Amino acid sequence: MQETSSIDPDPALSANRRAIYRRNGRIHFAALCYASFLNGWNDGSTGPLLPTIEHYYHIGFAVVSLLFVTNCLGFLSGAVANVWSNHRFGIGKVYSFRIVPSGAIVQLIGYSMMAPGGPFPIMCIGFACAGLGLSLQNAQANGFVGSLKEDTRIKFGFLHAAYGLGALVAPLVATHFASSAHWSFHYLVSIGGWIVTFVEDKRGGGASAGYISSGFFAGLMLGRIVLMQLNRKLGERWVIVYYSLIVIILEVTIWVVPSLIENAIAVSFVGLLMGPIYPILMNHSSMILPMRLLTGCVGYIGAIGLTGSAVLPFITAVISSKFGIASLQPFIVSMVSTMIIIWALVPKVRRIE
């Protein structure tokens, strides 16, 4: 497909044309950052509202975690749709900016279903629609940035920092609505999940425990910006291992230290160190995957990531129903340890074209 916008124009073009291309590129990137912000808003909203949703519908951990599962199903559907559309229409940047608004409309439909606080099955369908819309936007945004020729690593950092900003702001608003009779009205405004329940049940955090989720996502946002230079200095492949080992230590302190303040600080630092991992993964994907497969592949990567964010909280809920929410921390430690092993298996260089 012919592309009508790019930030890497032919050098033979006039200076005026190059300026227009660059301006359009900045506008496009800003639009994608806003879409990423809304993605973060979605993910940061659920945790602070989980205890309220449980009480409102009189359901337990296992049932309420179906919200994660249906959200995941929507995201997987979007990943399949992205692969089909890229094969059918190509991966031109013009087409990306048709898909992103379409995803936003589907996301809006999902929130419209959630906002009235209707029957729980309707909430689940709304979460599925939100997941579908976010999946369409996420894959196209990462594919677009991955295809750029200039400052790709930095742009990935800011794109995913926008996600962290949305996830930071959302719990602040969701915590306010969590104590309101109209808690579902939160959806009228556009690890982070079960930690709120853990702090309420095991550390006596009360209704304000939702702010700890904001601490996590504040760290996530800052980590994706302030650690860029350190990541390059230490080596992006090894830095994930270093950060993950520190995260394991911090999670152990949350597990064994019965202090609300210490736990809140540790959660924020967990967010700080986990923040750079996803942008590094996306940047690495753009270096080892053939460009013709990039958008579809990052769609699948994002979908599998959301599958983990749905399936693992669901497993946590099942385990918690039997052993209590205190089982959250050892489960996180085991999952981060597994991530280190899997990362060691990822290729270092592109093997096919």
Give the per-residue pLDDT at 244. Answer: 92
Give the per-residue pLDDT at 245. Answer: 93
Quick one: average pLDDT of 10-39? Answer: 76
Please state the length of the chain.
Answer: 353
pLDDT band at 352 (very low <50, low <70, confident <90, very high): low
Quick one: average pLDDT of 129-149? Answer: 79
- The tokens for 20 are 């227009």
Q: Is the pLDDT of residue 187 over 70?
A: no
Q: Residue 210 and residue 201: Cα distance in Å, rounded?
A: 12
Q: Is the pLDDT of residue 243 over 90?
A: yes
Mean per-residue pLDDT over the chain, rounded: 76
Residue 228: burial class (beta carbons within 10 Å; 0-12, 13-18, 19+): buried
Amino acid identity, residue 190? S
Q: Residue 93 and residue 2: Cα distance in Å, rounded?
A: 9
Q: Is the pLDDT of residue 9 over 60?
A: no
The answer to whether the CB of 47 falls within 8 A of the CB of 196 is: yes
CA atoms within 13 A on the CB side of 220: 28
Q: Residue 110 and residue 287: Cα distance in Å, rounded?
A: 34
For residues 115 and 302, which has the higher predicted lDDT (pLDDT)?
Answer: 115
Q: Residue 67 and residue 130: Cα distance in Å, rounded?
A: 11
348 secondary structure, DSSP code: S
Give the per-residue pLDDT at 353. Answer: 54
Residue whose entry in the numeric block shows the structure tokens 């399949």: 80
Give the per-residue pLDDT at 246. Answer: 94
Give the per-residue pLDDT at 192. Answer: 47
Domains in the chain and their CATH numbers?
Answer: 15-344 (1.20.1250.20)
Q: Is the pLDDT of residue 341 over 80?
A: yes
Give the per-residue pLDDT at 99. Answer: 61
Quick one: average pLDDT of 240-257? Answer: 89
* Share of residues in the chain with pLDDT > 90 (%): 7
Q: What contacts 100, CB < 8 A, 6 or more positions away?
A: 31, 32, 35, 136, 137, 140, 141
Q: Residue 241 and residue 220: Cα distance in Å, rounded?
A: 17
Give the per-residue pLDDT at 2. Answer: 42
Q: Residue 297 and residue 293: Cα distance in Å, rounded?
A: 6
Quick one: average pLDDT of 270-296? Answer: 83
DSSP 190-233: --TTHHHHHHHHHH--GGGGHHHHHHHHHHHHHHHHHTHHHHHH
Q: Is the pLDDT of residue 300 over 50?
A: yes
Q: Residue 337 and residue 92: Cα distance in Å, rounded?
A: 38
pTM for the model stands at: 0.64
Give the per-residue pLDDT at 4. Answer: 45
Amino acid identity, residue 260? L
